[in-house]
């Protein structure tokens, strides 16, 4: 059908289907500003003639004929006219919506995750924590949802990630990823990149992992043979010194490995561990027994010119690896019976059995009881802990040599004296 043959409005479906193209594009009025446009190629579409808020005439494309029948086009036209009556330019509104959609495509999960990670770096999170975050991003999160628009992600997407991590038995990682995911989406919401947090309530569908077992550790009766074996160790000086320092101070092997000479005051027998190296993100003072001071003075002749107390000989890390201390213990026949971290359990058990105050040993181990993190007790109990750690080191030496009943009585008296002396000390400080 030729457009000159059109007689009725609105246009019937038979007319729409049979209108023939011409040498130039043309429009046929359907009614109330709605036009049917036909291109020379035969392509057909709907357009609405309208006045912009500025009073200028313009065209608004409603859609192609293949997508919209006459009835559907008229319904859409009603909606557009309502916008125009409200003073909204439909063309400008469409541009804004397309721009928002394009921006949402750039607001990927990867963008939010990298922003979140960089903030953690700038906040000075511990290197071990940052490494864990980076591994989780690179191995579990970014490959799965990194290129997805963050606004499009759902609870199901987050739950699938959790399930995949649990499927390989990494329940501890799954727990951390739950927290980190929730935090990433929270940051994205604050930045205006998404409107909801699909990582909430994931714990409700989390699989229950096996109950944690304690690190292998030794009891007092087992210590004499172990200590004699360690004294006869053929491991190199750096490894044995790190092991003895871990044992004598009951410190986490991780902070021992990363110890720097600038943190250690040998004259005052004090090790100041900065907050960024501590699990609870708080600075920690470690009194050093004379045994450790002597060991470090000897080691200082070998490594004191450098930054690290226990430097590595390999290219991956500037300090010894996390396997060094455990390897030293394993080589003397105690693989599976004791680990570097397990020595902290040994310390806690022994000093508790010998009636040292729990608040002193907990502070020495940098332990916080439930509810203490926000109302942190800043008391270092440094004087009492000096006495306790020296007692502990001396007691280990006595066990190695073969402790006598007389020595046991002397050690018990030292505990009693420490309790009374500490009371006096605290009164003086107050």
Catalytically annotated residues: 252, 279, 341, 344, 367, 376
**Cis peptide upstream of residue 133 (ω within 30 degrees of 0):** no
Strand pairing category for 57-64 and 264-265: unpaired
Q: CA-to-CA distance for 160 and 181, rounded, in angstroms?
A: 13
Q: How far lies 142's CA from each of 109, 114, 183, 206, 224, in Å?
A: 8, 10, 15, 20, 51
What is the H or E stretch that residue 49 is in? Answer: strand 44-51
Mapped to the 3 state alphabet, what secondary structure does 260-302 carry? EHHHEECCCCEEEECHHHCCCCCCEEEECCHHHHHHHHHHHHH
- Residue pair 16/3 in contact (Cβ under 8 Å)? The answer is no
Neighbours of 208 (CB within 10 A): 7
Three-state secondary-structure class, residue 149: strand
Structure tokens at 424: 């006096």
Any residues with CB less than 8 A from the CB of 392 and at least 6 apart, and which?
248, 250, 289, 347, 350, 351
Any residues with CB less than 8 A from the CB of 241 and at least 6 apart, and which?
295, 296, 298, 299, 310
Q: CA-to-CA distance for 253 and 271, rounded, in angstroms?
A: 14
């Amino acid at each position: 059908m030729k457009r000159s043959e059109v007689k009725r409005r609105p246009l019937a479906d038979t007319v729409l289907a049979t209108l023939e193209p011409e040498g130039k594009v043309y429009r046929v009025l359907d009614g109330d500003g709605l036009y049917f446009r036909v291109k020379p190629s035969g392509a057909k579409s709907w357009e609405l003639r309208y006045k912009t808020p500025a009073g200028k005439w313009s065209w608004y494309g409603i859609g192609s004929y293949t997508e919209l029948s006459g009835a559907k086009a008229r319904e859409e036209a009603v909606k557009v006219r309502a916008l125009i009556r409200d003073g909204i330019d439909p063309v400008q509104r469409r541009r804004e919506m397309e721009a928002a959609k394009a921006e949402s495509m750039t607001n990927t999960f990867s963008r939010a995750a990298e922003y979140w990670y960089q903030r953690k770096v700038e906040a000075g999170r511990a290197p071990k924590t940052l490494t864990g975050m980076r591994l989780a991003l690179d191995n579990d999160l970014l490959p799965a949802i990194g290129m997805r628009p963050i606004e499009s992600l759902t609870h199901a997407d987050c739950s699938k990630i959790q399930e995949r991590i649990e499927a390989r038995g990494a329940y501890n990682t799954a727990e951390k990823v739950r927290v980190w995911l929730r935090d990433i989406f929270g940051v994205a919401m604050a930045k205006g990149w998404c409107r909801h947090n699909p990582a909430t309530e994931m714990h409700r569908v989390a699989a229950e992992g096996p109950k944690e077992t304690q690190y292998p550790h030794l009891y007092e009766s087992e210590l004499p043979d172990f200590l004699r074996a360690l004294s006869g160790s053929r491991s190199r000086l750096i490894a044995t010194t790190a092991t003895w320092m871990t044992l004598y101070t009951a410190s986490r092997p991780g902070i021992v490995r990363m110890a720097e000479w600038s943190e250690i005051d040998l004259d005052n027998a004090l090790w100041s561990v900065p907050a960024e190296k501590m699990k609870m993100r708080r600075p920690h003072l470690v009194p050093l027994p004379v045994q450790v001071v002597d060991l470090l003075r000897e080691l200082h002749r070998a490594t004191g010119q450098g930054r690290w107390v226990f430097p590595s000989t390999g290219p991956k890390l500037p300090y010894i690896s996390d396997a060094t201390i455990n390897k030293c213990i394993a080589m003397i026949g105690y693989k599976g019976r004791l680990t570097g971290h397990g020595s902290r359990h040994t310390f806690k058990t022994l000093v508790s059995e010998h009636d040292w105050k729990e608040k002193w040993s907990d502070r020495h181990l940098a332990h916080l009881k439930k509810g203490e993190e926000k109302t942190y007790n800043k008391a270092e109990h440094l004087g009492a802990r000096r006495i306790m750690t020296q007692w502990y080191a001396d007691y280990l030496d006595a066990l190695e040599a073969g402790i006598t009943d007389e020595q046991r009585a002397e050690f018990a008296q030292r505990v009693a004296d420490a309790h009374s002396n500490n009371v006096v000390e605290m009164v003086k400080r107050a």
